[in-house]
A and B are shown apart, each in its own frame.
Chain A
Amino acid sequence: MNHISVHKLSEYIDGILDAHEKDAIASHLAECPECMQNLLQLQKMISLLSSLKTMSMPASFATDTLARVKKQYYQKRYYRSVRGSVIAAAIVLIAIITMLPDSIKHDQFKNPMVQNTQNNSKLDCIIPTNMDLNTAMMVIQQHHARVLDYSNSYVIVESDVNSFSSIRQIINNYENYRHNAISNVGINYMPQGDTNYPQLSHANKKKYIFRLQLR
């Protein structure tokens, strides 16, 4: 007599066999103590397994978990709102910078140290003057020249040939008015040791970059 497999007994316990198979197994079990023993062992095992359902968690678990859930929930909401504000502020800032006049964007927002280093190598000349910063700025503005960089002691200017000549003339007049003996000496001033300094020539340049050395 063939014994019933554990697999089949398991299906028998779960009641998923058709009526014919179920009857056949029931008849066999009535006559076979070994298979009956197997069935009882299987039932005991399932019963032991189901008794593990008594395992449970501390009563405080739900409260603790909810506290963590809430903390995470509100943190996310906070970060989401902060992120929104930061993005909005960044958009406004970019819009403001975009709408700023070119002169401000290029002349005042650049790092003076970097600008200074960059422009020194491009200078066509240095013009010493007794003007203060405000006066120099006024003169530059009147002649539609462009300020590249400035500090209390100098202004680096970019202008066309005509403006350059006019500004130089005004500086000369200003100096004469102050009875200071200064003239074109300053023009083409070259720092010592810099032999590659470009020569000033009206004929071959459209733009001049020069430095007004303030008093």
Chain B
Amino acid sequence: MSEYSDNELIDRVIAGDTDAFADIITRYQNRIFRYVYTRVYDYDEACDMTQDIFLITMESLKTFRKESQFSTWLFSIAVNYCKNHRRKNRHKVYSINSAQDETEIQIPDIRQNQEELVITNESLHIMLEELHKLPDDYRDILVLRDIEGESYTKIAQVLNLSLANVKVRIHRGREMLKSRLQQRGLL
């Protein structure tokens, strides 16, 4: 991982060093992927969408004014991209019960330990399913808060919401998810 700060990397990319963008991708690819995956619940599609988000980011990099953190700006791009994607694919149905999707739920994770290559834990599968079924407003916020560990303030910036609204949505989202997980016997 590069020792350069986000802004230093951005300056290098804008100056023509496109290779520096690889460091930006490496730094944020998993965070963006997780956000996208919980939305579309399809591994290949999530990979393609994540790649598209980085392409858009590269194209728009000159417009980043450094008034906020780069990660906030990047997540805003991802959020808008996913919203547009949903609008374009409104009629596409993601069936999570078919045999094909059962295999897609398995998320390859290239790490040292081969046993960790695939999330096989049943509870995580159920968690992903129920998370995916949540309304966008609650799912997005739970991903940012409870998976990525972002602060309330940052979530408010990324989703363009008031702080009070963020608080309400986090707690309602948790309540909703808890209730669903209880019905599935997970809690």
Contact = CB atoms under 8 A, between A and B. Distances in A.
Interface of A: 6-7, 10-11, 14, 16, 41-42, 44-46, 48-59, 61-66, 68-70, 72-73
B18 A70 contact: yes
Contacts of B72: none
Nearest to A58: B110
A48 B124 contact: yes
Interface in B110-161: 110-111, 116, 119, 123-124, 127-128, 131, 142, 146-149, 152
A16 to B, nearest CB: 7
A41 B175 CA distance: 11
B25 interface: yes
A interface: dominant SS: helix
Contact of A52 (B21, B51, B128): B128
Contacts of B47: 57-58, 61
A6 B187 contact: no
A48 B58 CA distance: 33
Among A42, A63, A64, A72: residue with most chain B CB under 10 A: A42
A69 B110 CA distance: 23
Top 8 nearest A-B pairs by Cβ distance? A49-B146, A10-B171, A62-B25, A6-B175, A7-B171, A41-B187, A56-B30, A66-B22
B26 A54 contact: no
Nearest to A60: B110
Contact of A48 (B51, B59, B127, B170): B127
Nearest to B53: A65
B177 A56 contact: no
Interface string B155-187: 000000000000100111011011001100011
Nearest to A6: B175
B174 A53 contact: no
A56 B36 CA distance: 12
A41 B182 CA distance: 9
20 contacts: A10-B170, A45-B178, A45-B181, A46-B174, A49-B127, A52-B119, A53-B147, A53-B148, A55-B30, A55-B33, A57-B50, A62-B25, A62-B29, A66-B18, A69-B21, A69-B54, A69-B55, A70-B18, A72-B58, A73-B18
A7 B173 CA distance: 9
